[in-house]
Chain A
Amino acid sequence: MEAFGNITRIEPAGIDGLIVYFEHDTLSQTNQAVQAMKRALKHSNPVWLNALIPGYDSLLVLFNLQHADVHTVYQALRHAKPTGQSQHKSEHYTLPVWYQAASADDFDAISQHTGLTASQIIEHHTSQDFHVFTVGFAPGFAYMGELPEVLSCPRLTTPRTRVPKGAVAIADRQTAVYPSDSPGGWHLLGLCPTALFDLTWQQPVKLQPGDTVRFYAIDEQQYKALCNEPG
Chain B
Amino acid sequence: MSLVNITIQDAGMLTLVVDAGRSLAMQEVGFCVSGAADIRSYHLVNWLCGNPRHNAVFEVIGSFGMQVSEPCIVATGGPEFTLTVNGQPASPWQAMALASGDILELCPARLGTRSYIGIAGQWALPLVAESQSIVMREGAGGLNNDGQPIRRHDQISIQTNDKPSRQLRSLLPQAIPDYSLGTALQMIPGYQYASFEGWQQQLFFSSEYEVTNQIDRMGYRLKGQPIVCDTRTMRSEGINFGAIQLPPDGQPIVMLSDRQTLGGYPKLGCVAEYDIYRLAQAVPGDKVSFAPVDIDNARAQWLLRHRLDQQLFEGESQ
Contact = CB atoms under 8 A, between A and B. Distances in A.
Determine if chain A interacts with chain B: yes
B238 A136 contact: yes
Interface of A: 11-17, 19, 50-60, 62, 65-66, 69-70, 134-141, 143, 180-183, 199, 204-205, 208
Interface string B132-146: 000001111000010
A136 B24 contact: no
13 contacts: A11-B192, A12-B270, A13-B243, A14-B188, A15-B298, A16-B273, A51-B28, A66-B306, A134-B262, A139-B29, A139-B138, A180-B139, A204-B29
B235 A19 contact: no
A15 B299 contact: yes
CB-CB nearest 4 A-B residue pairs = A60-B238, A53-B238, A12-B190, A136-B262
A74 B239 CA distance: 19
Query: Secondary structure of the B side of the interface?
Result: mixed
Most buried by B among A53, A70, A199, A208: A53
A135 B30 contact: yes
B299 A11 contact: no
Interface string B223-234: 000000000000
Contacts of B238: 13, 17, 19, 53-55, 58-60, 136
B262 A65 contact: no
B28 A135 contact: yes
B128 interface: yes
Interface in B190-235: 190-194, 235
Contacts of A60: 237-240
A56 B270 contact: no
Given A52-B28, A136-B260, A137-B260, A17 B138 contact: no
A72 to B, nearest CB: 11
Given A11-B193, A137-B261, A138-B260, 20 more contacts: A12-B189, A13-B243, A14-B240, A14-B241, A17-B270, A19-B238, A51-B25, A52-B25, A55-B237, A55-B238, A60-B237, A134-B236, A136-B238, A137-B30, A137-B236, A139-B31, A180-B139, A182-B137, A199-B128, A205-B29
A177 B269 CA distance: 30
A53 B28 contact: yes
A73 B263 CA distance: 23
Contacts, number: 138
B29 A140 contact: yes
Given A12-B188, A16-B273, A136-B27, A57 B235 contact: yes
A51 B24 contact: yes
Interface of B: 24-25, 27-31, 128, 137-140, 145, 188-194, 235-243, 260-263, 269-270, 272-274, 295-296, 298-299, 302-303, 306
Contacts of B269: 12, 14
A136 B138 contact: no
B221 to A, nearest CB: 14
B191 to A, nearest CB: 6
A93 to B, nearest CB: 16
A210 B235 CA distance: 17
A1 to B, nearest CB: 10
Nearest to B272: A15
Contact of A135 (B24, B29, B137, B296): B29
Nearest to A183: B137
A19 B299 CA distance: 17
Contacts of B29: 135-136, 139-140, 204-205, 208
A199 B140 contact: yes
Contact of B240 (A17, A57, A65, A182): A17
A54 B24 CA distance: 13
Nearest to A68: B299
B30 A139 contact: yes
A32 B138 CA distance: 29
B24 A62 contact: yes
Contacts of A14: 188, 190, 240-243, 269-270, 272-273
